[in-house]
Amino acid sequence: MSATEVLKVIYAPHKALKKIAEKPKYLGPLIIMILLIISNVAFTYEAVSKTVIEQIVPTGPALDQWTENSTFWTSNAQVTESSDHINGTLYGNASIAFSIVNSAQLWMQLQGIGSVNCSGPDGYNESSFRIKWTSPTEKPENVTIQLFSANSSGYFYLSLVDDFSNATYNIWNNLTIPLATAEWLKSSSNADWGNITGLNLNFTWPNNSNITVLIDGLFFHGVFKSLLETAGTSYLLNYGLSSLTQFVITWVLLSGLLYLIARGIGGKPVWKPMLIAVGFILVTLLVQSLINTLAYLSLPTIHYPFAYLGGVSGEGQAAYDTLVAQTQIVSQISYYLQLAVYVWTIALSTLTVRLITGLSWSKSLLVGTIGFLGTMLIEGFILG
């Protein structure tokens, strides 16, 4: 009977709530709560499975550490930390500056980065960094990069002259370099893309001069993984527990506020019927979750690339536009569905107050509206 009453609250709420008020039983709200948790977990599974994020190294607390800390570098030039840096989400508050007097060549070597896998389908297949030279005004005539593997006698070598063909003096130039391609040369068979441990950049100018080069935002990236893959099934468990917490808080808060407000304006509510009836009307949350899940089933895989995650002004606009275009319809469905559920829940709250307290329709509407809005306000404060 409780399962039948749950359905009747949707298509025949007056009859269902009247019967619930006369014979209140906790089984119905418990059924709704369990189904809501299952539906929310299914929605989360669908969302995190279709959300793929470009992975980067370094990451976490070590984010951008290679161009924040000068101790990672050796050079034929003076190495210092500079406040001139890239502004963005993934970037810190410094860059590394290399300065040498009366020379035509400057090299910089990064070491102590651990082991980075740049091989196979799970390997990082791109490296990117920002370069700015403030002296001399001329563009370097030759630029090369070496990537070292665990064995110091093995490294990969690539000319970056073509990459620097459009580089500009005294601004941050963004270089993104594909890894493990045929263009790379290797020093010996010891070179291993699966175990990259450092790199070297070498700049050559046609004449001796005072040279200053800055580097910032050095990352390995290019491999995409879903949130489900990176966060694991514990993410789903946590969301299930979160759904349970949210349902209980909403249930108790809405019941309590409807009871207190109705009593405060002269109604005579009874606690148990009020509590159980409110548990039943929260079937609106279940309907909302089911529709959102179906809407997400229609989405393609959503990619969050490095350019978007980096947060540098203007760079991620194309990625952002693509994300908006892919999710626009579902976002609109979710938005209008949320408004509809708010109105529906207020209407069912009004009907519940009317049936249980005997207040007039106008007073019941007042109680239902204030009770629901108060619940949303307090719940938002509790759950953030």
How confident is the model at residue 331, as a pLDDT? 92
* Distance, CA of 3 to CA of 340 (rounded, Å): 23
Length of the chain: 384
Q: Who contacts 318 (Cβ-Cβ below 8 Å, separation ≥6)?
A: 307
Place of tokens 């946590």: 238
Confidence band (pLDDT; 50, 70, 90) for 120?
Answer: confident
Does the pLDDT value for residue 151 go beyond 70?
no
Q: Pairing mode, if any, of strands 196-226 and 155-159? A: unpaired
Task: Specify the pLDDT at position 339.
Answer: 97
Q: What is the model's pLDDT at position 159? A: 96
Work out the average pLDDT over 319-337. Answer: 90
CATH of 57-224, one of 1.10.340.70, 1.10.3720.10, 3.30.200.210, 2.60.120.260: 2.60.120.260
Q: With a cut of 80, say whether residue 153 has pLDDT above it.
A: no
Average pLDDT, the chain: 92
Q: How confident is the model at residue 1 (pLDDT cuts 50, 70, 90)?
A: low
Q: Does 18 or 154 have the greater pLDDT score?
A: 18
What pLDDT was estimated at residue 182?
Answer: 92
Question: Rounded distance, CA 190 to CA 197, Å?
Answer: 13
Say what the pLDDT of residue 220 is.
96
Question: Tens digits of per-residue pLDDT, 201-232?
Answer: 999 999 999 999 999 999 999 999 988 888 77
* Distance, CA of 290 to chain centre: 23
pLDDT in tens, 166-182: 899 999 999 999 999 99
Radius of gyration of the chain (CA): 30
Sign of CA dihedral 61, 66, 67, 71: positive
pLDDT in tens, 43-89: 989 888 889 999 999 987 778 999 999 999 999 999 999 999 999 88
Cβ pair 320, 308 in contact under 8 A: yes
pLDDT of residue 142: 95
**What residues does CATH 2.60.120.260 cover in the chain?**
57-224
The model's pLDDT over 85-113, given as tens digits with 9 standing for 90+, comes to 999 888 989 999 999 999 999 999 998 89
What's the rounded Cα separation, in Å, for the pair 380 and 263?
A: 25
Residues 146-153 have a mean pLDDT of: 79
pLDDT at 232: 73
If phi over 0 gives left and psi between -120 and 50 gives alpha, with beta otherwise, what is residue 358? Answer: left
What DSSP assignment string belongs to 353-368?
Answer: HHHHH---HHHHHHHH
263: phi then psi, degrees, rounded to nearest 5 = -65, -35
Whole-number pLDDT of residue 312 = 87
